[in-house]
Structure 1
Amino acid sequence: MIDYLKESTFAVKDVVLQAWKVTKENYFSVATLCFLIFITASTSTFMAFFMEELHIGIKIVMLLIFIMCYCVIELCMIKYIFHLLDDANADIKIIDTLPTRKEIGRFLLGTIYFGISIFFVGILLMPVLYILDLIFKFAVSQHLIDGYAETGKIIVNIAVVIAMISIFFTFIRIIFFPFFIIDKHSPPFESIKLSLATTKGNFIKLMFFLLGLVIVQAIVFGFFYVVVTTGFRLINFFFDTDINQYISLIVVIFSSFVIVPFTTAFFAVAYRKIMGDYKGDEHPDIIHNIV
């Protein structure tokens, strides 16, 4: 077990360093996509303030437009990172990384499958809540708990925790499905099966990957926040400004220009590393790869 943890730690280090190298050396070429992400995020945030009084149909249309924009840009980012990993010296144009209509359709359908998977996991966990309800009713009858109101609060809190854990586990197991759609041109359901197959037996390693990603992003965000707050303090010597009113803008900028490109590069490198170790079937079944 100790050897496996050491191996996982070194794997995380390799993934972080390679993702950082790809992002740093090609950041200005990725900046165009980052700017598009920033424009889309800023526009959607700005429009949210003016969409409250609009008709529900217009809201749905606008929501679909923004979702489509996010999908296209994110798929572009994935395809662009793959080109950089395969040939760092290639002259890659953004236009060459545009996803096809089939890839966009498969990604959207795969996202729907992802939501269905989470719903299905929630259905499987319903008996747990039913058993908890019986246990707490027994506790109330034995005067171990004050009343049913307190019982309801406990069950709701447990249900929230179970939902979050189930979403997290499902997210980890199906996280690579967009990469299979772009890299292997797999259909959406086949991509989910491949993601389940490649992540089977790699849960601890994936946990280390995510932990490494969170640590790196926390360090970068801390540096970014210190720089921004220092800049606002210098501005306060001349102008009376409140940084709190710019928090949302700061978060959007950081997310668009730092989080998204590095996270995409990180998962692309992790995908290639796990796929390099994968010895399973090219067309796996879903039953034997769930657990």
Structure 2
Amino acid sequence: MINYLKESTFAVKEVVTDAWVVTRDNYVSIATLCFLIFLTVSTSTFMAFFMGELHIGIRILMSLIFIMSYCIVELCLIKYIIRLLDGGNPDIKIIETLPTRQEIVRFLIGTVYFGASIFLVGVLLMPVLYLLDLVLNFAVREGWINNFTDAGKTIVNVAVAIAALSIFFTFIRIVFFPFFIIDKHCSPFESLKLSLATTRGNFVKLLFIFVGLVVVQALVFGFFYVVVMTGFRLINFFFDYDINQYISFIVVVFSSFVIVPFTTAFFAVAYRKIMHEYKGDEHPDILHNIV
């Protein structure tokens, strides 16, 4: 077990390092795609203030346009980083990374499958929560818990914890489906099956990897926040100018130019590593790879 934990820790370090190197060495090229992400997110945020006054049909249309634009740019970023990891030309043009119409459709359908999988996990938890309710009611009758109010609070807390862990577990198992669509040209359902198959037996390692991603992002965001807020405090000290109105804009800039590119590179590196270690079937079934 100790050796496995050491191996998992090494995997985290290796994935973080490789993702950082790819992002750092090619950031000028990646920044172009990041700028497109920034335009999409900032435009959608700006339009959100005015869409409430528009007709429902126009709002739906605009929302679909923004979602489609973000998906296209994100798929471009995934394809670009995968080519870099495979030793591709760093001077590749953006037009060459544009996803095909089939890839976009498959990604959108796969996203629906992704959401449906999360929802299905919630439905499957219902019997568990029902049994939990029976157990806690029995505990109240036996005097182990003071009253039904305490039991209700316990049920809510335990249910939230179980739901969060189950959703997180499901997320880890199927989060790589876009990479199979872009890299292997798989169908939406096939990409979910491959994601389940390649992550089978690697939950602890993937958990360490995702925790590493969260820690790195927290450290980077903390540093960014301290530097930016220190600068703003100096501006306020000398010019007495309120900068709080720009906080949301700063968050969008940070997310678009720091979080999104590094996170995408992180997932791409993790995807390449689990694919390198995968020795299973090219067309796996679901039942044997769920657990």
Alignment of 1:35-46 (within 5 A): 35-46=35-46
Residue in 2 that maps onto 1:171:
171
Moved more, 63-72 or 240-249: 240-249
Residue in 2 that maps onto 1:55:
55
Instruction: Provide the C-alpha distance between the structure 2 equivalents of 1:55 and 1:143, rounded to a whole number of angstroms.
Output: 57
Alignment of 1:1-291 (within 5 A): 1-145=1-145, 147-291=147-291
- Percent identity, aligned pairs only? 76
* Secondary structure in structure 2 of the residue aligned to 1:237: helix
Q: Deviations over 1:49-84 (max 9, x none)?
A: 222333332222222111111111110000010111
Task: Kindly provide the amino acid, as one letter, of the partner of residue 117 in structure 1.
Answer: S
Alpha-carbon shift at residue 90 of structure 1 (Å):
4.3
Instruction: Provide the C-alpha distance between the structure 1 equivalents of 2:259 and 2:149, rounded to a whole number of angstroms.
Output: 42
Alpha-carbon shift at residue 203 of structure 1 (Å):
0.6
Count the aligned residue pairs: 291
Q: Deviations over 1:184-235 (max 9, x none)?
A: 0000100000000000011111011111111211121122112211221221
8 Å Cα contact 1:83-1:92 kept in structure 2: no
Moved more, 53-62 or 159-168: 53-62
Instruction: Provide the C-alpha distance between the structure 1 equivalents of 2:180 and 2:144, rounded to a whole number of angstroms.
Output: 52
Instruction: Provide the C-alpha distance between the structure 2 equivalents of 1:6 and 1:23, rounded to a whole number of angstroms.
Output: 26
Structure 1 length-normalised TM: 0.94
Q: 1:242 to 1:161 in 2, by over 3 A?
A: farther
Q: 1:55 to 1:155 in 2, by over 3 A?
A: farther
8 Å Cα contact 2:196-2:290 kept in structure 1: yes
Q: Deviations over 1:244-266 (max 9, x none)?
A: 33221121111100000000001
Moved more, 235-244 or 225-234: 235-244
The alignment yields a C-alpha RMSD, in angstroms, of 1.6
Instruction: Provide the C-alpha distance between the structure 2 equivalents of 1:207 and 1:138, rounded to a whole number of angstroms.
Output: 36
Gaps of 5+ in 2: none
Alpha-carbon shift at residue 44 of structure 1 (Å):
1.5
Gaps of 5+ in 1: none
Task: Kindly provide the amino acid, as one letter, of the partner of residue 102 in structure 2.
Answer: K
8 Å Cα contact 1:72-1:98 kept in structure 2: yes
* Secondary structure in structure 2 of the residue aligned to 1:201: coil
Moved more, 19-28 or 55-64: 55-64
Task: Kindly provide the amino acid, as one letter, of the partner of residue 64 in structure 2.
Answer: L
Task: Kindly provide the amino acid, as one letter, of the partner of residue 172 in structure 2.
Answer: I
